[in-house]
Amino acid sequence: MQYDFDRPIDRTRDISIKWSPQLRREMYGEADILPMGIADMDFPTAPAVARAVQARAAHETYGYGYLAPEFLDACVRWQRERHGWDIRPDWIIYTPGVNMALVCALEMYTQPGEGVIIQSPVYYPYYDYVNGTGRKLVLNPLVNREGRYEMDFARLEELAADPRNKLMLLCSPHNPVGRAWTRAELERVGRICLDHGVMLAVDEIHADLVLPPNRHIPFASLSPELAQHCIICTSPSKTFNLAGLLVSDIIIPSDEIRAAFRKKMAPYYLWPGNFGTAAQIAAYTEGGPWLDQLLDYLAGNARYIADFLAQNLPRVKYRVPEATYLAWLDCRDLGLTPEALWDRMLHRAKVAPDNGVLFGPQGEGDGFLRLNFACPRAQLQEALTRMAGALGDL
């Protein structure tokens, strides 16, 4: 079956952070701005997923659910088939989204005032997790080598050796720079953290969105030793556009860590929702062929951006990402301040990507824009054309 990713959908009447006219006015000062930020997709989910949710809705009772065997088995199969990672059903824990699980990990392994190692520029809520819980932000900035970001292992070793730094939050694949970390890179991070007793909370929410021929290496599959030293946070929410269903799979191979995580979450009495469960089972059971076509389409969009920029905005630097549907555009050669760049986006282009400034507290994202390309190509073309119009005089 051929799926249609070109079909535009009107999301303006959706209760959507990205598309609500009222929120766009509040956030950007323009209700009709073209939103190209917030990381959800302007595609409908896989038809099998939509059908499963509709069937669940038709049932008309929406009582408490639980982590049912068919839910757990679907997740186990998915990890094995898509990523070659063998997990057990009882390793899986539910939280309503990955953010909550990461904060839980952070509170389990650090006390207020202790350090959490984070590699910037990164998904900006990480800074809020740390600052909002009174922990200390310890930055190991990534190194930008002509658009390809790499980890600074020497600095990581130093930071990990400081006994006040107890946890590393690893984003794998990495949002916003689009790296799918290699086995060698992940092994090196793992070795450093093991040697210094630094626990790892690994955010693999973009794992299914690795663009071929790149591959996702599940962190806990690297070695039995590392599997016992991490909390893996993953989810079908980015992959199948289910963020509004509050789904996640928190996978913890270590009995001890899992028991501690469960204990910490127990007082909240969290149950997976009816619609999230239905969606997730369908996604992980029937969604593979749809996802393969999605990845093809996304790869086409990623290349489209490269061609468009080369022809129309050659001073904007961009490297096709290895993973995610996010383009990290380096606009620094345009010679604008980050404020002027943003002002041109909002008021001249009337396009709202995410402002790179948000992603780095030490200026790591200044002069960058993060453009979400999970949308029909015509919408992407419109956004880029408007951006070129707003920057073309430079």
Ligand X SMILES: Cc1ncc(COP(=O)(O)O)c(C=O)c1O
Q: In the complex, which residues of this chain contact ligand X (CB under 6 A)?
A: 39, 97-99, 123, 171, 175, 203, 205, 235, 237, 243, 248
Nearest-CA neighbor of 354 among 377, 325, 333?
A: 325
- Rounded CA-CA distance 113/283 in Å is 41
CB 349 within 8 A of CB 390: yes
- Rounded CA-CA distance 306/325 in Å is 14
DSSP 372: E
Got the DSSP string for 192-222? HHHHHT-EEEEE-TTGGGBPTT-----GGGS
- Closer of 79 and 239 to ligand X (Cβ): 239
Minimum gap (Å) between residue 205 Cβ and ligand X: 4
- Closer of 308 and 359 to ligand X (Cβ): 359
- Closer of 243 and 383 to ligand X (Cβ): 243
> How many Cβ atoms sit within 10 Å of the Cβ of residue 219?
26
CB 178 within 8 A of CB 319: yes
Strand partners for 138: 117
- Closer of 209 and 257 to ligand X (Cβ): 209
CB 155 within 8 A of CB 206: no
Minimum gap (Å) between residue 127 Cβ and ligand X: 13
- Closer of 26 and 128 to ligand X (Cβ): 128
Map 272-293 to HEC letters: CCHHHHHHHHHHHHHCHHHHHH
Minimum gap (Å) between residue 273 Cβ and ligand X: 13
- Rounded CA-CA distance 256/228 in Å is 9
Show Cβ contacts of residue 325 under 8 Å, excluding neighbours closer than 6 positions: 39, 41, 209, 238, 298, 301, 372, 373, 374
Minimum gap (Å) between residue 347 Cβ and ligand X: 26
CB 237 within 8 A of CB 205: yes
- Closer of 220 and 313 to ligand X (Cβ): 220
Minimum gap (Å) between residue 98 Cβ and ligand X: 4
Minimum gap (Å) between residue 174 Cβ and ligand X: 8
Minimum gap (Å) between residue 387 Cβ and ligand X: 22
- Closer of 46 and 326 to ligand X (Cβ): 326
Q: Tokens 């520029």 — which residue? A: 121
Minimum gap (Å) between residue 206 Cβ and ligand X: 6
- Closer of 98 and 227 to ligand X (Cβ): 98
- Which residue number places its CB atom closest to ligand X? 97
